[in-house]
Structure formats: C-alpha cells, structure tokens
Structure 1
C-alpha cells in the first residue's frame, strides 16, 4: 500500500479534534476500581496540551532536547508526552517498577536527558539529573512543530549486550504504526480504550495514539490489577484493551469477578501480544468469557505492531489461526520478508528471520548498534509465512535473540549474569536462559559452573537476598554444570540457544520442598497473586494487628516469607523469619519492634547465623473477639503458659526431631499492642539442627507444623543450627479475662 502520512502535525490534529468535537471525552483518569476521578474533553485536552507546552518551554527545553519521565500511568503522563512531541522534545520514560536506580541513571545518561519530570513520591535526591514535578503553566505563545518526522521517543529494550539498547523512534514512526493499529483493530470514535500496560511500554504508547487518531477516548487507571481487571473494564465502559499473555493467564481464575461485572461490560475485543502467546490459555479465555482475543506481533523498534490477526475473518479461519498460534498478516505500512542467512528472501514455508522495513521502523539505536541489513530491520525472530485466502500469514518458530521474555518484559541474560557472578566468589561462570513457565511464559534460570568448595545452596541464598537485581530479574531456577560441558562457538561464545534446549535438572531457588498437601515457596514481591493472598491471610490471623500492602512487601523484600500453597494455588499458611547475629541473651531483652524494625524486617542480616521466626499463620485459625485482659502478672502468666495453644504447639517435636521448642524467656510488654497476648511475647528455641539429622515433613501434620519444618529445612541447607521463635501466648488475655 502506498504510504501517505496519516497526519502532518500532532498538535494540529488535537486542535482539529477540539474544533470538530469539543465536548467529546478524550481522557479519563480513574482510580484502581475504575471510578472516574477526572474527565477531559477534546477542548480541554487542547488547553492542557498548551499549558504543558508552556511549562516545558519555561523549563528551558527546546527541540531536540531529551526529557526523562519518572511518572506512573496517568492522564498527566500522556499530556506531557504529547506536548513534548508536539514541540520536537524527545521523551525517555523510565520503568519505575522493575528498574534499579543504576538502570535509571544509565538510561538518563546515555539518552542525554536534560531534566527528569517526576511524579509525586519520587526520591529526587537519588538522581544526578535535575528533577522537576509537572506544574501546568498558563498557555502562552508556543511554536508547535508542523511536521512529524522528528525524533520523539527513546525506549529501552534489552539486547544481547549487558546494557539495554535505546531505540530511537520518530513521531512519524509512532503515528504511522498507530494508524496501522487504528485500521487493523477497527477503532472508531465510539470506542474507549482501557490502558492496562505501563505507558513506558510501546504497547500502551501506540494504542493510545491509535485511539487519539480515531477521535475515541482513553481510560487510564493507575495500574493493572489482577483482581479488578473486569471491574475496571466495566466501570470505565471500555470497548477494547490490550494485554500481554500473563494477564490472559491471570484472568482464567477470575470467573467470579467476571460474573459480577459482565452485565455492565461494553468490551467487545482484546488485543494480545508483546510476548509469546500460549494457545491453550487464549482458547480457555475465549470459552470462559466469550470475548475474542486477537494476536498481534511487533517490537519496540517497530513502534509496536507489524502483523495482526484480522478482525473480519470467518469463524472457522479465525479458530484455525488461533490453534496454530498465527501472528497474522502484515500491517498496511509494514514490508515484511523472511530472510535466509545469505540475505535473500525465502519462499512459503521456509524458515528464516523476520525482517521489516517501512515508516514504522526506528531510525536506529543510540550508539549506532547494528540493527539493519539491506535496509531491513533484523528482528532476531525466526518464522515463516503461509498463503491463506491468497494472503501471507506469518508464524513464529522461536527467537534467535537470547532475550528472556517474562510476562511481556524483556530481560537481558548478560545483565543478569554479570550481577549473579558478583554475588559469590565460588561462581566460576554463570549463564542465564529462559525456561518455559506457565504464568509468565518464560522464567529466568541460571546455569552455574562452581569453583571447588562452592555450593548451589549458598548461591541460592545470595540470589534470594541480593538487592543488585530487581525481583523480576532474579533467577527462579538453578543448576550446576561442569565448565567443559557448556556449549560454545568456535570463538568461545556461549550458545545459549543450545544450552536452553539441553535436558537439565533445574532446582527451584524459591522452592523449599513439598508435603502431600502443600508446596513451600519463598515469596517474592513480584508474585502478586500469592502476595495478595498471603497478606489477606496474615491480616485475618493477626486482626486487629493488620498491616498494609506496602509494609507486607517489606516483609517479603527484607526478610524471608515462606508460603504453603496447595494444589489449587491457594495460600494456606505462611511464616515470616529473619536472620540475625544477636545472641540468645540479646534476644531475651529486645521488644518485637526492636527485633523486626517495626515490622519492616530491615533488621534482617542475610549473613546471620541465627534464625528467628516472627509470625506464623494458617487458614485453620479461627478468629475470636479480643478479650479485655485481667491482671496478667508475670508469675501468673508463667503458671498459665503451659495451657496456651501456641506454647503447646511449639513444644511438640517436629521435622523428625525428638523434641520440640523449649522456653527461653517469657517477655512481658515486648509487644504492648498485642492485646490477645496481653502484651507478652515468648522466646523459644527449637533443638539444634545437626547435619546428621535429616529434617523432613511430618506425615499428616498441620500446615503450621509443616511451615516450622520448612524453616528447619531452610536452616539445614545453609548450615544454620539455631532456630528461635519470637511468638505470642495467644490466649493469655482470654485466660485472665475469666
């Protein structure tokens, strides 16, 4: 199809929308439940773009300058971005959730950002560049760009190098792709798009522009919510959205939420892509919810979609394409070839690399990293095409690049390898690959070559506790391999694609073992599905001493939280503990807040030789009203203690040991706010865990017993002999209230 620019000026397009449809809704800012907090029509959008433009000029920014963006999904983020692009200012958005500070600094440095526009709550002192908060100015005289050929956006995508690569996208790239999406997904002025993915991701960026080109409206909640996905769609009256396969997987267990809101839904189609799609999940989704999913393919470097499954196919053809995991046919402005190693185009059915050219393809990477051959962008993806109804339809076979795609997020193996290798002196070499994982598509796995004396157990512990890797990047599986078995090229470069296919017996890093009923995992804060359940159970068991999600995430990030998960992925119990160098005498003198750092668990020492359990709960617990305690003097409290169910629980032998825990000291006033225990804590110690005793799960014991046994196993793996519990006599107040 002959290419014609869809529009010639972004600002003038917005002005024309304001003239033609001033009262039509353009943007809706909503809360996590989908309730509208702010509505902006096209007339107001024009004004707000003008105010943002004046603010950018007042900051001293001019055409060609780079503005970093540290803002969460919001109406303001779109307005600032569109205003900047309309002035010829280039934006570099940061990933606030997954990137470390070091990664933020690198992106700002290499993109030569002049300023960083940040949302509220950002630590301004952490950044080397000047940080400003968005403060709209009165619209003044602004010279808007009358073209779209200039650079507009730098997005970073992981490559086969250790540092992320900055893709330089022009406004024309973005607009051309958005126009392709508009036509492909049949977006009209009556549509409403719900933003589910972060706006630092090319997916949401291009879908928002496609919606703008169609004179439709955009609803923006602060973030994707697993539990509120259907509620947000219903409350915002969205007609379509775009998701990654992980969201599709998440919602398969959300039928109750769907049933609650299905009568309020206007949703009629969903786009899925940005990571390998699991066919079985897509089919289950459509069977359960009756809403069609349409797969699209593309990359950051192509401003998003280059292929898509058409929306107007007959039912039989559509179902056949879904079954075969087809990525669709080429978009109108994408020229696609299947290229062989010799650079020549291949015929139908022949496998080669997908290569792309056209107005949607980026100018190149920062630093002029090689990315093109014969003017075609090299995707690094292997595939083929097949003629269907006299048109080319494309199919992917796999990635030739070594990127790990986890839940739609690209992870660089080399970047992870560099950081893992620095964790332990006994690592000779480490190679990271992606392994298949049910929910995220791929998970990070580490193949480690050990030096003499090195152990996987020690390296697992280092990975769990390191702060140098984001939680999303941390390997979840590990295996040891002799260095001479690593597949290498003739030049000594590791062949990760070969390594990935080898039949290796990976050990789960965060998996401690399983009993007949439960699997025991160490929680990570990115496992939102389990973390939410764990917090709900914690607050049920500890009511009224409930804690917030941010504080519970500190438990998970700073300390160690083991969850007992049943075969239906339900969290049935959890135990929290920390490691310390405190002596028994010192532990006998601390308060609960002292020990736990006011429940942040920032007191955890990953090198500590003593383990102290600070909370335990299970779904067998039956909550009762908190009684008013009578006179719980220390002598009377000691007399009562042997009647207390928690004391008796710890006193019983566990894990194959001959004895249970012994009381070290009863601690009055150690936690005054714990009214059930009349402010008391009790320090107890389990028998020393010796190397010649194999700790195991007791036969038909309770989940609470098995959680203690899981802690013992963790201790034994790390050769930690001393396990304490800083527990509470739960019925102390009840006893003295009689």
Structure 2
C-alpha cells in the first residue's frame, strides 16, 4: 500500500485541480473508512477506492479513451460511482451519468443521438447498449461493484489521455425536464470546483461530517452537493440505493450521519410514514437537513423541525449552476425563503430590465463563477448580458432573501390575473388529508385558464367531501381568483427520474379526463 500511496502522490500533480483534491482525499485516508455502500452493507477504505480508480483508469487507457471523450454511465446508486467519476477525469474524459431506470429504447436513442466513445453499465444493460454496434466489451471486478462492464464503441476514434484544462468539460448532465425535453448541461472542471467549494463553505462541512446520499447519483444534487463536497472536505459518505422512509432514520443513526440533502417530497414522506416515525429517536443528531427543488409549505417545515429536532436549510440551485445559488444562513434562516445569495449574483428581471429592488416579482436571473454560459446544444435565449435566465419566478425581500414563486411557464392566466401555482399549493397542503398537490392551468372558455388542483390524498375515503373541504379552505386562505375551480384526485403524478412532477404530462392527463367527462 505504501508504493501505491506514493504513486498517487506523484500522479495527482498532473491532473485538474478538482481531481488532484480527490486524490489527496484518498492519500490522506488510505486506512480509513470513507465510503459505505448500504446495499452491500460495506465500508470501503481509501486504498480500496484508490484500487478501483486505478483499475478503471487503466482499462480506459487500454481502450484508448482520453481527453474530451464522453463516457455514458448508467448505474444505480453505488459506491463505485465516485471511483468511476475520478477515473474518467484522470484520463481527461467527460462523464455523462443517466438514470439506471432509463428504458432501453430511451437509452438506445441517447446513444444514437450523441457520440459516446464508451459506456459503463451493469450486466443487465450490456445487450441494450451493444444493439448490433461494433464494440469491445470488457468486464471489471471491482471492490465496490462485483461486475462492471465498459463498452467501447469502435466506430468512434478515441483520444490520448491528457491533463484537461480547467475550462474543459468534466461532467454532462441532463436538466430535470419538467416541461419538455431535457437540455444537456456541460460543467467544466473549474465550474464544478467553484460550486463545490462554495457548498463546503456555506454548509460548514468538515472532515467530521458524514452525509447520507438518498438522491439519485445521476443528479447534480448527489454529485456536487453530497459526494464531491464531502470528498473535498474530507468527510465520509454513506450511499443508499434509493430513499426508503422505513430505513432512513436507522441509516442516519447507525452511520452517525451529520447531514443529508433531500427534496420536499422526502420531507413530506418522513412526516407521514408510520415506520419512519417509529424508528426515530432523540439520540439522532443531525446538524441539518438541506432541502431544495421547490419551497416547503411552512407547516410541513415547522412540523419536521419540531418532530425530528433538526434544522432544515432551504436553498435554491440547479444543474446549470453546478448546485446552489442561495442558501439560508445557519444563524439567520428565514422560513419560506430560499435564503440569501452565496458567492452568486442574484437579481430579478422585470420587463427585460435587471433589478434588485425589493418585493418585485419577475424572472430570477443569476451569474457567477459556477454558472454555465450556454447549453451544449446552444440556447442563446436563456442568457442575456452574462446572466443566466432561470425560467423561475421570484422576488428578493428587503433583506435580500430570495422567495421562489414557481416556474415562469407554469403561471396560470385566469381572466388576466396571473397566478403562481406554488401559492395555491402551499395553501392546500395545509389540509391534513392532502399528501401532495399540484396546481396547473387547464383551458377555460370564459377565463382562458382555470385554476386546477390535482390532489393525492392520504387515503381517499369520500372524494366529494374532501373536494368540499378543499374549496372551503381555499375560500378562507386564497384570493377569489386563486381558488381552484377544478379539483381532481389521482394516485400519483407523471414524474421524471428525480421525482419531479412533469406538469406538461399532468396537464395532458387532466385535459383527457375533462374530455372524457364532457363525452
């Protein structure tokens, strides 16, 4: 192990800054547990991760995968992910992770639309990736993954391994795609490093921290906020294959987890899941739970903090910004807000003008050293004068805290009144029988769009009675034009791979139901 340690120290000087730091973490923790795979119920020490990095890197070199070559990774959450990421970057290649649940047809479409020099998958997807293409298939037996396959597309030329420039691509990620086809975001070594360093500072991460990863690892939340930030700050990582309410608090307790990054849906599930509530005890000491994606209803936030004795830190970020733009300060959180800008310039665009005036609703725009300047498939209309136009609506209050009101495209036009769905959703979610609610606009001959609430009930007993309760609550808490005039009950929503509601598909389903009723 000493020789290997020395080799690492010698080699990490030849890599990008972020890859150097990843290697330093391994060198400094050769005999220490640093990553645990919950599925395997096994901790891996630094030297074991380093051995897997070396094995993957050497295979990539043999396959002539190098500088600028894009490698598709389609795997479930696994301790092998950090090793794969590091090995790809060490040869100067680019990683593009996608959901392990991607249907074979979509996977093959992805492979046909873009040039992937290699793909890394498990045994179950080898045939789907091959699909009659000319390829070399190699099998690796890693310590973190029993049988991993690298499929080298022989129809594409590879490049020699080389040290990438800081401005070269490191990671390609698809946006969440809640309203249309996902855009491809290219994050450079520099953007990622800047974003990760800001995460470490704003969250106060240290080598004493242990994080639990329950978000999918093809998503920026897990990649940057949880994994890269923890590795660069010297902490430990516990990787679950997916979120499980019944296992969550046991995983936190047994692994002495100090913080975890989640989305509001997970908060809601933990509040209502009986087994989760039964498995929690006061010996659990979480420093905080980081929550982003969309605003938590105030009653759910307060209930979680009071029941589970921890702090929820809400923030705002996206794939295009290599994670976060704003975060609530530990010493001055403002409930209901996404916090204050951190190492990011945040403003509001109103009538095509950039403004930081308080309490003016418009499109949120951001810029900074961790924000992309264009998509891989150019979308110049998303950028203006150095600003990234997020497509989200919000405002800054008098203390410069950001409040997010929803997606610009989701705004409902009801007789000329503009309604942000999140306002209505926050109101209706206060009802105890409402598990989840999504509010959309559906066509209305009189008002243009009708405010339509699509509800998942805790356990629907009497649909008409619950509908009446929703309407009564809306009359008490919302302006007349914000009150839903159509209410649908469903078992679940159409969702993307990260669990976000695909509003476009939901609207189509509701409209089909309306047509069916009319018929």
* TM-score bucket of the superposed structures, by smaller chain: 0.7 to 0.9
Match of 2:78 among 74, 79, 96: 74
Q: Distance in 1 between matches of 2:58 and 2:447?
A: 58
1:102 CA drift (Å)? 4.1
Q: What pairs with 1:308-319 in structure 2 (closer than 5 Å)?
A: 308-313=327-332, 318=333
Count of aligned pairs between the two proteins: 429
Q: Is the 8 A contact 2:373 2:388 kept in 1?
A: no
The reply to whether residue 117 of structure 1 matches residue 127 of structure 2 is no
Question: 1:12 is matched with which residue?
Answer: 20
Q: What pairs with 1:64-103 in structure 2 (closer than 5 Å)?
A: 64-97=68-101, 99-103=102-106
The reply to whether residue 167 of structure 1 matches residue 170 of structure 2 is no
1:22 CA drift (Å)? 2.6
Match of 1:401 among 386, 399, 409: 409
Q: Is the 8 A contact 1:73 1:198 kept in 2?
A: yes
Q: Is the 8 A contact 1:117 1:131 kept in 2?
A: no
Q: What pairs with 1:521-532 in structure 2 (closer than 5 Å)?
A: none
Higher CA-based Rg = 1
Q: Is the 8 A contact 1:27 1:220 kept in 2?
A: yes
Q: TM-score, normalised by structure 1?
A: 0.52
Q: Distance in 2 between matches of 1:165 and 1:124?
A: 27
Local SS of the residue matching 1:401: helix
1:261 CA drift (Å)? 4.5
1:127 CA drift (Å)? 6.0
Match of 1:337 among 325, 343, 347: 347
Q: Distance in 2 between matches of 1:518 and 1:282?
A: 24
Question: 2:243 is matched with which residue?
Answer: 224
Distance 1:149 1:161, change over 3 A: same
Q: What pairs with 1:464-483 in structure 2 (closer than 5 Å)?
A: none
Higher RCO structure (Cα 8 Å, ≥6 apart):
2
Describe the superposition over 1:556-609 as per-residue Cα deviations: whole angstroms up to 9, x where unpaired. xxxxxxxxxxxxxxxxxxxxxxxxxxxxxxxxxxxxxxxxxxxxxxxxxxxxxx
Q: Is the 8 A contact 2:346 2:367 kept in 1?
A: yes
Q: Is the 8 A contact 2:258 2:288 kept in 1?
A: yes
Match of 1:328 among 316, 326, 339: 339
Q: What pairs with 1:158-307 in structure 2 (closer than 5 Å)?
A: 158=176, 162-206=180-224, 207-254=226-273, 257-262=276-281, 265-307=284-326
Q: Distance in 1 between matches of 2:119 and 2:409?
A: 32
**Which consecutive unaligned segments of at least 5 residues does structure 2 have?**
1-14, 144-159, 413-420, 468-487, 496-515
Distance 1:137 1:72, change over 3 A: closer
Q: What pairs with 1:453-468 in structure 2 (closer than 5 Å)?
A: none
Q: Is the 8 A contact 1:8 1:148 kept in 2?
A: yes
1:191 CA drift (Å)? 0.5
Question: 1:155 is matched with which residue?
Answer: 173
Q: Distance in 1 between matches of 2:404 and 2:324?
A: 14
Distance 1:507 1:262, change over 3 A: closer
Q: Is the 8 A contact 2:440 2:453 kept in 1?
A: no
Question: 1:542 is matched with which residue?
Answer: none
1:344 CA drift (Å)? 3.0
Match of 1:375 among 386, 392, 402: 386
1:169 CA drift (Å)? 1.2
Q: TM-score, normalised by structure 2?
A: 0.72
**Which consecutive unaligned segments of at least 5 residues does structure 1 have?**
1-6, 405-432, 448-480, 488-498, 528-715, 720-738
Describe the superposition over 1:149-194 as per-residue Cα deviations: whole angstroms up to 9, x where unpaired. 3101111125587422111111222221111111111110011010
Comparing both structures, which one devotes a greater share of its residues to helix? 2
1:397 CA drift (Å)? 2.5
Q: What pairs with 1:481-630 in structure 2 (closer than 5 Å)?
A: 487=448, 499=449, 502-504=450-452, 514=462
Give the aligned CA root-mean-square deviation in angstroms. Answer: 3.8
Distance 1:503 1:13, change over 3 A: closer
Question: 1:39 is matched with which residue?
Answer: 43
Q: Is the 8 A contact 2:30 2:47 kept in 1?
A: yes
1:235 CA drift (Å)? 2.0
1:342 CA drift (Å)? 2.7
Question: 1:57 is matched with which residue?
Answer: 61
The reply to whether residue 30 of structure 1 matches residue 48 of structure 2 is no
Describe the superposition over 1:67-102 as per-residue Cα deviations: whole angstroms up to 9, x where unpaired. 1111000011221122212322112212233x4444
Q: Is the 8 A contact 2:288 2:313 kept in 1?
A: yes
Describe the superposition over 1:435-469 as per-residue Cα deviations: whole angstroms up to 9, x where unpaired. 8485786548694xxxxxxxxxxxxxxxxxxxxxx
